[in-house]
Copies of this chain bind each other. A is one copy, B any other.
């Protein structure tokens, strides 16, 4: 026999959160959400399991999750270890054949299997994928903004999402890394933000979430009080030239996704505890939400 200790004030506060959250929980059950993992959420040994826990909670109340990831810093490190100096043109990594071999070994061989392992420990039935699996992604080569030859850098031309749908229907969580076949027996290196957007469009996802190292988009970069809670695709498009180099591809991918039917894109700081839960299940959210 044990006595009750919940005070009335605590009870009232808890009840308010539940009343706020339950309609969102109901509304999101059965909906598909694509989550691009980057930054600390991907690599920090303390943060990654927490994010995995949040993803498991979202999945447990019926959301259908697809995780997409890249891994820039780890690739650069491995390239240097292999004696190749990383080079970028307009934010895109110049990727020759030797570099491509490093890219896919790091992304598919190390990061993807680590992430799948972490998500399985959190209770998800995660399945690692590349764009080659069941010919999921068809890509073409991409050249630099000024016509530079970037080597094995690709962009998604077509997405065959049946494999993702089949896995989701059976309760699996696909975990896709950003490489894909070039149609000639080789592989291409994709921007993971763009790949996440392509997958979200193809699945008719209800949400596309970018988990990053920043709290969201700011009206005045550097002024923390100016974090934007909500904006429109047009407003976002206007802001692109003012954004940081890391945020620009996310913003471009977000605008594309919103124009092609994904109703909401979120940018969150993956390092804030339970950022995903707060964004999805509260009225205000915690990061920046762009609504079509």
A3 at the interface (CB under 8 A from B): yes
A133 at the interface (CB under 8 A from B): yes
CA distance in complex: A18, B25 (Å)? 10
Among candidates B6, B21, B172, B225, residue contacting A18 with C-beta atoms closer than 8 Å: B21
CA distance in complex: A227, B179 (Å)? 44
B125 touches A134 (CB 8 A): yes
A158 at the interface (CB under 8 A from B): no
Among candidates B4, B15, B21, residue contacting A229 with C-beta atoms closer than 8 Å: B4
CA distance in complex: A6, B275 (Å)? 12
CA distance in complex: A163, B126 (Å)? 10
A132 touches B110 (CB 8 A): no
Among candidates B81, B107, B126, B288, residue contacting A134 with C-beta atoms closer than 8 Å: B126
CA distance in complex: A285, B4 (Å)? 8
CA distance in complex: A12, B17 (Å)? 12
Give 1 or 0 for each of A262-292: 1 = CB within 8 Å of chain B CB: 0000000000111001100110111110000
Give the chain B neighbours of A230 by CB distance below 8 A.
Answer: 1-2
CA distance in complex: A23, B225 (Å)? 34
Most buried by B among A6, A12, A109, A229: A109
A14-B278, A107-B109, A126-B133 known; A60 and B23 CB under 8 Å? yes
A108-B108, A172-B163 known; A134 and B127 CB under 8 Å? yes
Among candidates B60, B104, B163, residue contacting A110 with C-beta atoms closer than 8 Å: B104
Give the chain B neighbours of A216 by CB distance below 8 A.
Answer: 4
Min CB distance, A31 to chain B, in Å?
A: 14
A231 touches B1 (CB 8 A): yes
A219 touches B23 (CB 8 A): no
Which of A112-120, A149-157, A193-201, A251-259 lies at the interface with chain B?
Answer: A112-120
Among candidates B1, B18, B219, B228, residue contacting A17 with C-beta atoms closer than 8 Å: B18
CA distance in complex: A228, B5 (Å)? 9
Closest to A4 in B: B229
B105 touches A132 (CB 8 A): no
Give the chain B neighbours of A38 by CB distance below 8 A.
Answer: none
14 A-B residue pairs with Cβ-Cβ distance under 8 Å, sorted by A, are A1-B230, A2-B229, A3-B227, A4-B228, A4-B285, A15-B274, A15-B278, A17-B18, A107-B109, A113-B130, A113-B179, A117-B185, A117-B187, A166-B172
Per CB-CB distance, the 9 closest pairs between chain A and chain B, nearest first, are A109-B109, A105-B109, A105-B105, A15-B274, A17-B17, A4-B229, A26-B60, A1-B231, A125-B134
